[in-house]
Structure 1
């Protein structure tokens, strides 16, 4: 009875692992069930500590650790599933020199050499169907190794692009007034319209990469001016105010629509965690102060209040993403 159970659970574990690899690496809907569960639990535990005592240095290493850990877990589960099957039959693996069955510890060695493609040595599968199973395991492990290497390179490249996006936005300024003054989008002769549209395109690309590489969101930047999520929040606040300026100071409609569309796509495509509404529903004081400084009617203006209420819905998502990234609004 135990042997039958092992013959069922072993291949099932391998199958679930392969499905997890396929979803994580090839799907654009997030990580597989195994990768999603353990990475989310670990990140939430670290954020719980981080909320009480900042550990930006630890968070900065968590993303690379998860990337390596995912590969290790995939191999460990494949090895465990394979070992479960071979251990269920005492005659499945033998010593080629003596022709005798081997103990379970030697089967562990056999499984490791099989999935690592290092060669059997003296410990070999006894006969059919064990030879076929060992060959299939080597084939599966080789595919997992190949796609894992490609996945690592892609995620690391996307992590670099994250920092480039943050630098591009903060290059315009570290505050809303700085970005408004430096961009000069209302001046046809001297503006950064092309630069702004490039940033908008990068935000769209960044959102799509979060779907393709779900581990990307765990690549925390230990400096706030290198955090793309904070940068996008600043960019969003800035263009919210720019859209409310008088017509002679307002950027072209096309630029506003492009930027707001890109930020909206980012907020919709990127999975934001649930954060208590009382933490997010209030408009920040500096946003209202900047609005007053630029001649926007704030107090008692019905049109502004409607625009603000509509904007706060999107801002809530962006701020929740900042919380998820380990950065809280200053």
Structure 2
């Protein structure tokens, strides 16, 4: 009998049950174990990506974290229960010969029990260990059930993220591109309706991030499907609308302001759990393409003055882009790049960019 091993097992069991409960049954973010493991894995993948660009690695990392999380829960629970049964000699015996099981046979017995497959060819010895076995089986069922109910909504939310990303990309690849495409020569047409739709969608995704923190680590190879880029492009579009367009040509504030507040709420969620503002401020958007399209804009100087109070917000956006495995060029002016150009009818659909 080893009290030390027993205590270690009980502590591990308590920690993993707490982690599972916090992660799956509350809206407060990831548990102390799964949250840290996911963060470390992502940081390693991001470090490798920055040394040699590999967006496929980041994409695989997100899904790997999703699959690994319940496996980590199950693995630690197996170790914890194994330590508990190992600490007491004779806790498990062979069902036929009644000979005490050795260490490896007890580990096998625990694995068989917590997977709820039954007792196999070994059985607990005595009433105390019969009760412990029943608790272990219930604990295994608890882990399996919560893992399944946790994974399915995450997959659904990840699909929702990509849907929103493509929606924004379909409007345009970059902030100025979106406004140029929506401009009909007199005003921005039905763009306010898109803002209303996206406000609702982004509010829902923000709540999903609180419930399922693992969504933060989902990355798309195609720029038009990556949520980070789409979100930042959308927020910068709202900045152009609110501060770069002359008053008499602006979209109805009743559609712009709620969208901007929904974005702010999402940024607060990220700031509280995932990112810190960058030490640098990204370059201010150019008004050149808007002017070329005949859209009434304020002067460059006035635009710079109006956006001085957005420094912290835009530093968060830059941090979001960099922590997502991208650079600011991916959301810069269409003079630099257009991440959604392959969605146009006149281009080749098979272009993977």
Secondary structure of 2:29's aligned partner: coil
Partner of 2:167: 168
Q: How far off is 1:192 after superposition?
A: 3.2
Q: How far off is 1:275 after superposition?
A: 5.5
Partner of 2:325: 326
Deviations 1:82-127 (A, max 9, x none): 1101111111000121111111111111011000111112201011
Secondary structure of 2:233's aligned partner: helix
Q: How far off is 1:184 after superposition?
A: 4.4
Partner of 1:196: 195
Partner of 1:182: 181
Kept after mapping to 2: 8 A contact 1:272/1:317? no
Q: How far off is 1:33 after superposition?
A: 0.8
Partner of 1:116: 115
Q: Does 1:257 align with 2:257?
A: yes
Kept after mapping to 2: 8 A contact 1:95/1:102? yes
Unaligned 5+ runs, structure 2: 330-353
CA distance in 1, matches of 2:282, 2:101: 68
RMSD: 2.0
Q: What TM-score, normalized to structure 2?
A: 0.86
Q: Structure 2 vs 1, CA of residues 288 and 312 (structure 1 numbering), >3 Å: closer, same or farther?
A: farther
CA distance in 1, matches of 2:282, 2:93: 69
Partner of 1:22: 21
CA distance in 1, matches of 2:107, 2:264: 51
CA distance in 1, matches of 2:162, 2:3: 52
CA distance in 2, matches of 1:255, 1:290: 24
CA distance in 2, matches of 1:47, 1:38: 14
Q: Structure 2 vs 1, CA of residues 16 and 187 (structure 1 numbering), >3 Å: closer, same or farther?
A: farther
Question: 1:1-330 residue pairs with structure 2 within 5 A?
Answer: 3-184=2-183, 190-244=189-243, 245-270=245-270, 271-274=273-276, 276-278=278-280, 281-284=281-284, 286-287=285-286, 289-290=288-289, 294=295, 295-299=297-301, 301=302, 304-330=303-329
Secondary structure of 1:94's aligned partner: strand
CA distance in 1, matches of 2:120, 2:40: 40
Q: How far off is 1:195 after superposition?
A: 2.3
Kept after mapping to 2: 8 A contact 1:291/1:297? no
Q: Structure 2 vs 1, CA of residues 183 and 258 (structure 1 numbering), >3 Å: closer, same or farther?
A: farther
Unaligned 5+ runs, structure 1: none
Q: Structure 2 vs 1, CA of residues 104 and 267 (structure 1 numbering), >3 Å: closer, same or farther?
A: same
Q: What TM-score, normalized to structure 1?
A: 0.92
Secondary structure of 1:243's aligned partner: helix
Q: Structure 2 vs 1, CA of residues 111 and 187 (structure 1 numbering), >3 Å: closer, same or farther?
A: farther
Deviations 1:160-204 (A, max 9, x none): 011001011111111223311333499689413222211111111
Q: Structure 2 vs 1, CA of residues 171 and 215 (structure 1 numbering), >3 Å: closer, same or farther?
A: same
Q: Structure 2 vs 1, CA of residues 189 and 87 (structure 1 numbering), >3 Å: closer, same or farther?
A: closer
Please identify, of 312-321 and 165-174, the stretch whose mean Cα deviation from structure 2 is larger: 312-321
Kept after mapping to 2: 8 A contact 1:176/1:290? no
Secondary structure of 1:124's aligned partner: strand
Secondary structure of 2:300's aligned partner: coil
Kept after mapping to 2: 8 A contact 1:87/1:104? yes
Q: How far off is 1:289 after superposition?
A: 4.0
CA distance in 1, matches of 2:142, 2:223: 38
Please identify, of 239-248 and 9-18, the stretch whose mean Cα deviation from structure 2 is larger: 239-248
